[in-house]
Structure 1
Amino acid sequence: MAGRLTLYKLVVLGDGGVGKTALTIQLCLQHFVETYDPTIEDSYRKQVQIDGTSCMLEVLDTAGQEEYVALRDQWIRDGEAFMLVYSISSRSSFTRINRFHAQVKRIRTDQMDSDPIIGLVATKSDRVVEREVSTQEGFALARELGCEFFEVSSKNCINVEKCFYDLVRALRRRQATMPKNPEPPPILRDATVLSTRGSTPLMAAAAEATLTVHL
């Protein structure tokens, strides 16, 4: 019988075209998506082992376009930790990170006594000649926002696991300091990776596989 798995809900936010889907699919399906296909809402589940303890990650890949800003409120309410993503080759996506951060803070601060757990992720680190945002600027913004910073390459699979796993580590540290009476995180009994492309009921399509990774 499969073991009991704690579920962690991670939400990936950022402008359209910055590589949120490529990052998520590289983690969950170990495949690099080269072609840009705008996302509305895709959900993926993957069993992983972090620091010797198995758990289930539920990663919500969200739309970055402004027409979906109303949906973003609900995505943020449903999440436990958040990844704010920009591309090193797009300064405009970097400048809009503050907008996503403010939205997460506004919604989650209403629901929690403590600040939300957030990671700042710079994608496409392999595109050196196209770089518009320096690593130093990324670190400076992360310090300003009070969050961890990662530069990743989904294409070369650099720091992909680390940025997700470090958010889970932060969640675990926080949960270890919480009083015992709040409702614990969900427990799953399966070890399935679920990928749902197209979040709305009429657009959903699912693919299942069993994957286990070790850090």
Structure 2
Amino acid sequence: MAATLLYAKVLILGSSAVGKTSLCHSFQNDGTHFSKNYNMTIYIDTLVKSVKVPGTKYNVEFLLIDTPSKDCFSEMVHKYYKNVSMFALVYDVTNRKSFEECTRLFKEIKEMKVSSSFDSFHCVLIANKSDLDQERKVSTQEGEALAKELETELFECSDNEMKNVDSPFNYLAGIYCKTYEKSLEYFSTIG
């Protein structure tokens, strides 16, 4: 039986230089290529990647929306908040300010989503650059505490070493499938 294809948009948010672009590219190319030379993202970039969800009949095709930092083009990024239901908040474990920015971004997203036609969204917290343990400024425990506060999951990744890059997206794909199936159940009861 052919897999059912679902489409999902994921907005990737975080401070400058946390590795949003390299994380997206590493995920898209299955870790086969890591570029050492990324320029700062100054516009919205999109990438597509399909994920088979184990134990289901679904493939989720992600449209990854890589955004510039909030310092750049804030109004442009806000336009995307209302058109997606999945978010990845990325911080750099060697940069405490980027970690603190995730709390502000989450509150901003939640306020905008509540005022829009969507009443829920799915989010993951990604602690990038976990390979730089000697330079770490944000502990795993602090990341876990923030994830608990935001009612989401934490994923520590290293796009440089290609470690755990797929995990947050696989998690989102699984959640997306469950949400889709709940919608099908609901609509079948009102028919």
Shorter-chain TM-score range = 0.7 to 0.9
Secondary structure class of the residue paired with 1:149 = strand
Asked which structure has the greater RCO (Cα within 8 Å, sep 6+), the reply is 1
Q: TM-score if structure 1 supplies the norm length?
A: 0.78
Matches within 5 A, 1:190-201: none
Q: Which residue of 1 aligns with 2:77?
A: 72
Question: Do the aligned partners of 1:109 and 1:116 also contact (CA within 8 Å) in 2?
Answer: no
- 2:48 is the counterpart of 1:41: no
Q: Indicate how the Cα distance of structure 1 residues 112 and 166 shifts in structure 2: closer, same or farther if over 3 A, else same.
A: farther
- 2:14 is the counterpart of 1:17: no
Structure 2 Cα separation of the partners of residues 116 and 56 of structure 1: 17
Question: Do the aligned partners of 2:50 and 2:60 also contact (CA within 8 Å) in 1?
Answer: yes
Structure 2 Cα separation of the partners of residues 112 and 81 of structure 1: 14
Matches within 5 A, 1:120-159: 120-159=125-164
Secondary structure class of the residue paired with 1:159 = coil
Moved over 6 A (4+): none
Structure 1 residue 11, shift from structure 2 partner? 0.9
- 2:177 is the counterpart of 1:175: no
Gaps spanning 5+ residues in structure 1: where? 182-215
Secondary structure class of the residue paired with 1:86 = strand
Q: Percent identity?
A: 30
Structure 1 Cα separation of the partners of residues 177 and 114 of structure 2: 19
Structure 1 residue 112, shift from structure 2 partner? 4.7
RMSD between aligned residues:
1.8
Structure 1 residue 3, shift from structure 2 partner? 6.8
Structure 1 residue 63, shift from structure 2 partner? 0.6
